[in-house]
């Protein structure tokens, strides 16, 4: 019955001159329509994304999801992943890639002695609760909803990078445990819906309360270790019923191929970014990164409006 159904799709798609979305039967049908040259270019794009992700993760104390998600979005689109599942696959894979990158970045900052362990302890449990909640939401909402959340969060982070991090303070000391736990939950929730480590959000929260920039970046790298792991588990479970529609070597909404191509490179490069962060003024990088995030947000906004 399944064979006849796909045969019918093949005949109709061929007659219409459109690409044929083949089922996954243990081979790699999604890759069959792509030339070796195109595959090399796609792999190169992911490797380049890994380098950029590692540098940004080390310098800014973030996981690099703002770079990873758009790279994967274009790669998975070229591979023919269904639009209704593509964003979920990007977010889940991004969270997986962030894990070794965040560990590498955190270890580099720990050597500098700048991490605030009390903040990490306060945020740990609420952040996990937030990311579990976000993963559950992602399992039931349409892909365009995740795109819309991505546009909002990335746009805010991009604008903050452009405007500068040190201009606005709402207090000179961190708030009480209740407010800190609420911040932790929000960081986890937003991170799981967007595919970021939460470092960018955490850094800006700490700066609002007068935490020095290097301590804020280092501490954000610490929370970035905690957030991705439960998120990956949640996305893997959520995507399991859709394995037949996902690329080969996918664990639910987590692409093993994407992880292997990007994660090792990003983790190797992250310590160099951390060293640069402690040596250089980073205003130009913040401006460039802010412009990049706004460009990415515009790309996803176009995808939402015009498909």
**pLDDT digit string, tens, across residues 217-237:** 788 888 888 888 899 999 999
At 34 the pLDDT is 61
**pLDDT digit string, tens, across residues 3-57:** 333 334 333 443 444 444 443 444 444 555 567 777 777 778 888 888 887 887 7
**pLDDT digit string, tens, across residues 57-81:** 777 666 678 888 888 888 888 888 8
**pLDDT digit string, tens, across residues 159-204:** 887 887 555 778 888 999 899 999 999 999 998 898 887 877 888 8
Residues 6+ apart with CB under 8 A from 35: none
Task: Please give the backbone phi and psi of residue 70, each rounded to the nearest 5 degrees, phi first.
Answer: -65, -35
At 88 the pLDDT is 93
Point out which residues pair with 254 in neighbouring strands: 251
At 282 the pLDDT is 60
CA distance 65 to 81: 20
**Cα-based angle 198, 85, 189 (whole degrees, multiple of 5):** 25
**pLDDT digit string, tens, across residues 86-142:** 999 999 999 998 888 778 777 877 777 677 888 988 999 999 999 999 988 988 888
Name the least confident of 7-11, 149-153, 283-287: 7-11
Sign of the CA dihedral with 120 first, then 126, 131, and 132 last: positive
At 28 the pLDDT is 45
* C-alpha distance from residue 42 to each of 87, 179, 208, 236 (Å): 18, 43, 40, 23
Residues 6+ apart with CB under 8 A from 198: 63, 127, 187, 188, 190, 191, 220, 223, 224, 227
Read off the pTM: 0.77
At 125 the pLDDT is 93
Q: Where are the domains of the chain?
A: 37-306
């Amino acid at each position: 019955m399944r064979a006849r159904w796909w045969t019918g799709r093949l005949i109709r798609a061929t007659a219409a001159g459109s690409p044929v979305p083949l089922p996954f039967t243990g081979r790699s049908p999604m890759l069959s329509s792509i030339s070796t040259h195109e595959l090399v270019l796609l792999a190169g794009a992911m490797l380049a994304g890994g380098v950029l992700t590692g540098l940004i993760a080390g310098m800014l104390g973030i996981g690099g999801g703002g770079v990873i998600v758009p790279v994967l979005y274009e790669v998975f689109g070229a591979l023919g992943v269904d639009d209704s599942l593509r964003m979920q696959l990007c977010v889940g894979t991004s969270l997986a890639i962030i894990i070794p990158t965040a560990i590498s970045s955190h270890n580099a900052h720990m050597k500098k002695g700048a991490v605030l362990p009390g903040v990490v302890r306060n945020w740990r449990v609420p952040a996990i609760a937030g990311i579990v909640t976000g993963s559950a939401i992602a399992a039931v909402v349409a892909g365009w909803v995740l795109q819309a959340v991505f546009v909002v969060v990335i746009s805010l982070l991009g604008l903050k990078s452009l405007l500068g991090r040190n201009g606005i303070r709402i207090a000179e000391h961190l708030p009480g445990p209740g407010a800190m736990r609420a911040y932790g939950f929000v960081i986890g929730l937003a991170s799981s819906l967007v595919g970021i480590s939460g470092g960018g959000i955490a850094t800006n929260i700490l700066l609002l309360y007068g935490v020095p920039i290097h301590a804020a970046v280092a501490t954000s790298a610490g929370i970035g270790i905690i957030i991705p792991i439960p998120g990956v588990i949640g996305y893997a479970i959520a995507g399991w019923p859709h394995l037949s529609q996902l690329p080969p070597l996918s664990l639910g909404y987590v692409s093993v191929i994407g992880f292997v191509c990007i994660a090792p490179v990003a983790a190797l490069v992250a310590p160099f970014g951390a060293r640069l962060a402690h040596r250089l003024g980073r205003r130009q990088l913040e401006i460039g990164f802010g412009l990049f995030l706004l460009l990415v947000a515009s790309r996803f906004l176009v995808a939402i409006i015009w498909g």
